[in-house]
Amino acid sequence: MRKKIVAGNWKMNTTVAEGLALAKGIVEKVEEVPADVTLVVAPPFTHLTSVAQVLEGTPIQLSAQNCADEPKGAFTGEVSAAMLKDAGCAYTILGHSERREYYGETSAKLVKKMALAFENGLDVIFCVGEKLAERQEGIHFDVVATQISEVLFTLTAEQMAHVVVAYEPVWAIGTGVTATAAQAQEIHGFIRNTLSAHFGEEVAEATTILYGGSCKPSNAQELFACPDIDGGLIGGASLKAGDFIAIAKAY
């Protein structure tokens, strides 16, 4: 059975005090979430060590939103995978569309980041997804297949056990527009088949594939009912403990 995950990407939101209050709010309600659903929160870097203390002794996992593509040294402003592990992270998100779009995150960089994440004992939530124009052109399957092959196909089957894929259509992120359950299932099925063709069915069946893009309490149930959707990567709705928990309870 593959893992069900609901992960909250806080992006560049909250002060430390607000982030701690949010983390505490999630901890207070975690028992309402089905035991087979893993909650992950991804606060900004500055919050990680203090949020880690709030999460201690709970089943909630800590994630970073990104990590450096170099192990250490003169890389001003960067945060290494080793530092994230030291801060208490179990995961890092990599390849979010905002990183790809605004910070020049290429597949080549992601391959380096992923290797460093694994070397330091971090699992990776690897984001893929097409832009609106690419969907309108009908090339969304090709775009996602390329994002997967350029990065994930450099990994071994053993390393794939440490990867969660998040399908996030860029046109649905932060827009209030959600992919329909049918659209999401279609591409999640495609992602699983793509993984299966390269790594074999066992790896593909074991890989958790999350949906992201305006997922909220009102649409989570329909999305999570799809056979190839194993949870969600949640942006805006993860900033309210009640909404985040309601999404996780939708399973």
Please give the residue ranges that form the binding site for ligand PEP (CB under 6 A).
9, 168, 173-174, 212-215, 233-237
Helix (H, G, I), strand (E, B) or coil at 210: strand
Does the active-site annotation cover 168?
A: yes
Give the Cβ contact number of residue 218 at 10 Å.
13
Q: Which is nearer to ligand PEP, 37 or 203 (CB)?
A: 37
Q: How far is the CB of 233 from ligand PEP (least distance, A)?
A: 5
User: How far apart, in whole angstroms, are the C-alpha atoms of residue 242 and residue 31?
Assistant: 13
Q: How far is the CB of 119 from ligand PEP (least distance, A)?
A: 25
Query: Which residue in 98, 105, 134, 168 is the catalytic one?
Result: 168
Does the active-site annotation cover 96?
A: yes
Q: Which is nearer to ligand PEP, 98 or 203 (CB)?
A: 98
Q: How far is the CB of 73 from ligand PEP (least distance, A)?
A: 30
Query: Which residue in 96, 105, 134, 140 is the catalytic one?
Result: 96
Q: Which is nearer to ligand PEP, 122 or 173 (CB)?
A: 173
Alpha helix positions (H), the chain = 16-29, 48-55, 81-86, 97-102, 107-119, 132-136, 140-151, 157-160, 181-199, 201-206, 217-224, 241-249
Check if the beta carbon of residue 166 is closer than 8 Å to that of residue 212. Answer: yes
Give the active site residues: 96, 168
